[in-house]
Amino acid sequence: MNIGYYPGCALHGSSNDYEQSVRACLGALGVNLCELDDWICCGATAAHSLNHKLAVALPARSLAIAERDGYDDLLAPCPMCSAQLIKARTALARDRALREEIAATVELPLEGRTEVLNLIQIFQRIGLERLKSRATRSLNEFKPACYYGCLLVRPPQALRFDDCEHPTSMETLLSELGAAPVEWNFKTECCGAGLTMCNERTVLDLSHKIISNAAAHGANCIVVACPMCHVNLDMKQADIERHYGIRHAMKVYYLSDLVGMALGLHENELGVNRHFVSTP
């Protein structure tokens, strides 16, 4: 199955381990990721903080390319990207005048045929039954704390995905594959996100709380579906440990890592060996 793929900046840059994981995992499921030709920035936080038109036009250009190239589904594994793409798509679907204006700006027709999926949704699209039948290994040694962060489920009016206050889709998926996700409290709390660049102290504080709560509820790893979350929880974990003088050693997996392992892939094929918190 061919599917449109929007990597965004993170998966081609600092989080290319995430791309490796997603490609390996979906490849094992027979999903061929076709990277969009000439995709551009989703606008991220910057665009919608400064210019509403730009916040629609940037994702709209990539959506129009996906449409032109005939992709019905577009995977954006980064939740910032998928949220921006979906928000633009929703705004365009609602307002004909805006649609015409933006189509002129991006110099491509916009009909809204392409649907944007996050990483969890692509697994849901493949189907839990099918995933289960392809699995060669049970994930029973994993007791993950499923961490959704902010943008995977918000804003709910645009995303219409899972319960924004109490999401359960990752838990459902991983339990099917034999893992035992824990009930915990920080599923949708903020990890500090981009403050990691300018106000590291806040990120250390917030991420420390998330990791501690996961550990307190018996998790032996955290599962994320966001490159930013992974940076703050995994890459910054050593700093957190140093700052608080405590040892967490909490492994942080991408969702595609665990699904990939269930499908029989080796950790190294999924790029797990490139995470900062070492896997014993």
Partner 1 sequence: MARIGVFICWCGENISRHVDVEKLAEQCAHLPGVRCCLTYKYMCSEPGQNLIREKIREERLNGMVVASCSPHMHLKTFRKAAEAEGLNPYLVEMANIREHCSWVHHDVKAATAKAADLIRMAVAKVRRNHALSPIRVPLTKRALVIGGGVAGIQAALDIADAGHEVVLVEREPSIGGKMAGLSETFPTLDCSQCILTPRMVEVGQHPNIRLYTYSDVEAVEGYVGNFSVTIRKRARYVDISKCTGCGACWNACPNKKTPSEFDFGMGKRSAIYVPFPQAVPARPVIDANACTMLTKGKCGLCAKKCAAGAINFKDQDELITEKVGAIVVATGYKLWDIGKEQENAKLAGYGEYGYGTYKDVINSLQFERLVSASGPTGGELRRPSDGAVPKTVVFISCVGSRDNAKGMSYCSKICCMYNAKHTMLYKHKVHDGQAHVFYMDIRAGGKNYDEFVRRAIEQDGAQYHRGRVSKITEENGKLIVRGVDTLAGEPVTIEADLVVLATAMRPADGVETLAQKLNVGYDEYGFLSESHPKLRPVETNAAGVFVCGACQGPKDIPESVAQASAAAGKVQVMFSREEITREPEIASIDERMCAACFTCVRACPYNAIERAEIRDRAGRLIKRTARVNPGLCMGCGTCVAVCPSKSAELEGFTEQQVYAMVESLG
Residue ranges binding partner 1 (CB under 8 A) = 156, 163, 165-166, 168, 183-186, 213, 216
Does residue 120 contact residue 155 with C-beta atoms inside 8 Å? no
Q: Which is nearer to partner 1, 100 or 183 (CB)?
A: 183
Q: Kindly tell me which of 54 and 164 has the beta carbon lying closer to partner 1.
A: 164
The distance of closest approach from Cβ of residue 172 to partner 1 in the complex, given in angstroms and rounded to an integer, is 13
Shortest Å distance, C-beta 55 to partner 1: 24
**CB-based contact 230:18 (threshold 8 Å):** yes
Q: How far is the CB of 184 from partner 1 (least distance, A)?
A: 8
Nearer Cβ to partner 1, position 156 or 264? 156
Q: How many CB atoms lie within 10 A of CB 137?
A: 13
Least distance (Å) between residue 87 CB and partner 1: 18
**What's the CA gap between 59 and 92, in Å, rounded?**
11
Name residue 202's amino acid: T
Q: How far is the CB of 215 from partner 1 (least distance, A)?
A: 12
Q: In angstroms, what CA-CA distances link 167 with 26, 146, 149, 157, 163?
A: 23, 9, 10, 15, 5
Alpha-carbon gap, residue 92 to 89, rounded angstroms? 5
Residue 262: CB minimum distance to partner 1, A: 26
State in angstroms the smallest separation of the CB of 133 from partner 1: 27
Token pair recorded at residue 240: 């957190």
**Closer residue to partner 1 (CB): 155 or 194:** 155
Between residues 14 and 124, which has the closer beta carbon with respect to partner 1? 124
Is 21 or 213 the residue whose CB approaches partner 1 more closely?
213
The long-range contacts involving 235-241, CB below 8 angstroms and separated by at least 24 positions, are 235/276, 236/196, 236/200, 236/203, 236/204, 236/207, 237/207, 237/211, 237/276, 237/277, 238/276, 238/277, 239/200, 239/204, 240/204, 240/207, 240/208, 240/211
CA distances from 116 to 35, 46, 129 (A): 14, 21, 22
Among candidates 224, 227, 241, which has minimal Cα distance to 277? 241
b/e code 59-77 from CB counts within 10 Å (16+ = b): bbbbbbbbbeeebebbbbb
* Beta carbon nearer to partner 1, 78 or 215: 215
Q: How far is Cα 68 from Cα 53, in angstroms, rounded to an integer?
A: 22
The least CB distance from residue 165 to partner 1, in Å, is 4
Which residue, 14 or 212, has its beta carbon nearer to partner 1?
Answer: 212
